[in-house]
């Protein structure tokens, strides 16, 4: 099976929207509202006001062209020495399969490469 971990692009909005749709328990846990048709568009650009979008790393776990999991890592937030993990979501059909762990470890490696003292991975 062909897998890929890569940063999401604006053109990946439909795949991210489908992933959100495949995680209804997550939506129910974070909101009393139904999933917005624009949830993916919003997630792709959601960023704290003082942070550049270039410091937002929305990284997907792709399998044969399908997005199965995503992690959102912010470089330099809430202060310049910190990396912030804002979201780790695995679609319900793939939960318990190690995809989340794979993304988490990738985020740890990425954050370590930035040399930020405010990010600890176990």
- Band (pLDDT 50/70/90 cuts) for residue 122 is very low
What's the pLDDT tens digit per position in 18-60?
999 999 999 889 888 999 999 999 999 999 998 999 999 999 9
* The length of the chain, given as a count of residues: 122
What's the pLDDT tens digit per position in 62-104?
999 999 999 999 999 888 888 999 899 999 999 999 999 999 9
Q: Residue 3 is encoded by which pair of tokens?
A: 């897998």
CB 61 within 8 A of CB 67: yes
Entry pTM? 0.90
DSSP single-letter state for residue 99: H
Q: What CATH number should be reported for the domain whose range is 3-114?
A: 3.40.630.30
């Amino acid at each position: 099976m062909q897998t890929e971990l890569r940063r999401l692009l604006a053109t990946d909005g439909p795949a991210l929207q489908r992933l959100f749709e495949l995680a209804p328990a997550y939506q129910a846990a974070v909101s009393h509202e139904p999933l917005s048709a624009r949830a993916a568009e919003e997630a792709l650009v959601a960023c704290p006001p003082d942070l550049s979008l270039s410091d937002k790393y929305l990284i997907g776990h792709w399998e044969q062209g399908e997005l199965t999991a995503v992690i959102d890592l912010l470089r330099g937030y809430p202060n310049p020495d910190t990396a912030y993990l804002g979201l780790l979501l695995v679609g319900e059909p793939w939960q318990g399969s190690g995809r989340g762990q794979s993304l988490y470890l990738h985020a740890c490696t990425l954050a370590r490469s930035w040399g930020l003292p405010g990010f600890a991975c176990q």
